[in-house]
Structure 1
Amino acid sequence: MANEWLERWREGRIGFHRDRPHPMLVNHWPALGVRPGTKVLVPLCGKSLDMRWLAGQAHPVLGIELAPEAIEQFMAEGEGVTTRYPQAGFQVCRQGSVELWCGDFFHFHIEQAAEIGAFYDRASLIALPPATRQRYAFHLAQLVPPGSRGLLISLEREPGDEGGPPFSVLPDEVRDLFTPNFQVTLLEQGEPEPGRGFRESAWALVRRGPLE
């Protein structure tokens, strides 16, 4: 799976990339109540412009991405000085209030996540095959402290369409994956996008405390 992702970036097959911030992020993030200054974790971030939008809302952003090409393109398309340094087995690039860690999300541990207080997933869960999604949901829960708020955007393909990535993740699976560690609320179930054969849904997640 990792090799396929790297090949997509090397070959420029990135039809999943949007040239503007995701409308569900713009519409729903303010209602989550994440305080300005809270660092936002963005797993499997690609070169998403959603990170620049979050930075524009006064959030430091920490993105994690496996493909070096995605990180280099993000930095090249931005403004300001880029600094680079190694950190805990990752290569980190920082530009303004966005820092991108190049490496495997599952190798990112709580010691590096100490300042994170929120998260955003538009293309992480749906990029993973079914066998890896449980591991992802558990690992995310380990990285964010109780009370952390996040926005998840899931995707449903038309019945019979088993293609991917991005993969179809049905609402019941979202609930099954995250309810053990998060309060899960469906915020919006979008309409099928013309010509794209899928629809997206937005979810609010709040990390439960140990006694909940």
Structure 2
Amino acid sequence: MREQWLKRWREGRIGFHLAQTHPALVRHWKALGVPSRAKVLVPLCGKSLDMRWLSEQAHPVLGVELAPEAIAQFLAQRSGDVSRYHQAGFDIARQGSVELWQGDFFHLHIRQVDEVGAFYDRASLIALPPATRKRYAFHLAQLVPPGAKGLLISLRRCDSDAGPPYSVSHEEIDALFTPNFRLEMLEESAPDERGFAESVWALERRGPLE
């Protein structure tokens, strides 16, 4: 999966990238009640403009991305000083209030995200094959503190297991996240021309005694 993802970016096969902020993020983020200035973790972030939008809402952003091409293209979208450093296996670039960590999301340690207070997944879960999604949901739960809120945007299609993007059923989302998160589906679109229906979920990390 790692090499497949890197190859996609090298070849420019990134049809999943949106050239604007995702409308569901704009519609639902403020209603989540994320504290002002809470740092937002964005796994498998690509070069998503959603990170710019979150930073414009006064949130510091920590994006994690495997492909160096994605980070370079994100930084090139705007002028502005970029500071660079290395930490525990990650090459990190900071532009404004957005930090981009180039490396494997599964190597991210809780000590490196101790300031994170929220999270956003627009195309992370659906980029992962079935065998990896359980590991992803568990790792995300380990990285965010109790009470942390986030938004998950997923896709499902009844007639295909191919991907990415992968189809993830509502039942699988429930099974993956309910053990560690309170979960509420906010909306689901009609299927598009490819047969994918997009669903939007609000999540909140459960406390240790829940």
TM-score between the two structures when normalised by the length of structure 1:
0.97
Count how many residue pairs are aligned between Structure 1 and Structure 2: 210
Moved over 2 A (4+): none
Question: 1:127 — aligned with what?
Answer: 127
Q: 1:72 & 1:100 partners in 2: Cα distance?
A: 10
Q: Deviations over 1:141-190 (max 9, x none)?
A: 00000000000001012x22222101000111000000000000011111
Q: CA deviation at 1:53?
A: 0.5
Question: 1:211 — aligned with what?
Answer: 209
Write out aligned runs for 1:193-208 (5 A).
193=192, 195-208=193-206
Matched position secondary structure for 1:112: helix
Write out aligned runs for 1:105-144 (5 A).
105-144=105-144
Question: 2:10 — aligned with what?
Answer: 10
Q: CA deviation at 1:197?
A: 2.4
Which amino acid counterpart does residue 168 of structure 2 have in structure 1? V
Matched position secondary structure for 2:27: helix
Matched position secondary structure for 1:164: coil
Matched position secondary structure for 2:18: coil
Q: CA deviation at 1:120?
A: 0.1
Q: CA deviation at 1:76?
A: 0.7
Which amino acid counterpart does residue 202 of structure 1 have in structure 2? V
Which amino acid counterpart does residue 177 of structure 1 have in structure 2? L
Q: CA deviation at 1:79?
A: 2.6
Q: 2:79 & 2:133 partners in 1: Cα distance?
A: 35
Give unpaired runs (5+ residues) of structure 2: none
Which amino acid counterpart does residue 128 of structure 1 have in structure 2? L
Question: Is 1:81–2:110 an aligned residue pair?
Answer: no
Q: 1:35 & 1:42 partners in 2: Cα distance?
A: 16
Q: 2:161 & 2:63 partners in 1: Cα distance?
A: 28
Q: 1:127 & 1:91 partners in 2: Cα distance?
A: 22
Matched position secondary structure for 1:111: helix
Q: CA deviation at 1:64?
A: 0.2
Q: 2:105 & 2:91 partners in 1: Cα distance?
A: 13
Identity over aligned pairs, percent:
70
After superposition, the CA RMSD in angstroms is 0.7
Which amino acid counterpart does residue 180 of structure 2 have in structure 1? N
Q: Deviations over 1:110-138 (max 9, x none)?
A: 01010000000011110000001110000
Question: 1:49 — aligned with what?
Answer: 49
Give unpaired runs (5+ residues) of structure 1: none
Q: 1:184 & 1:145 partners in 2: Cα distance?
A: 16
Question: 1:61 — aligned with what?
Answer: 61
Question: 1:164 — aligned with what?
Answer: 163
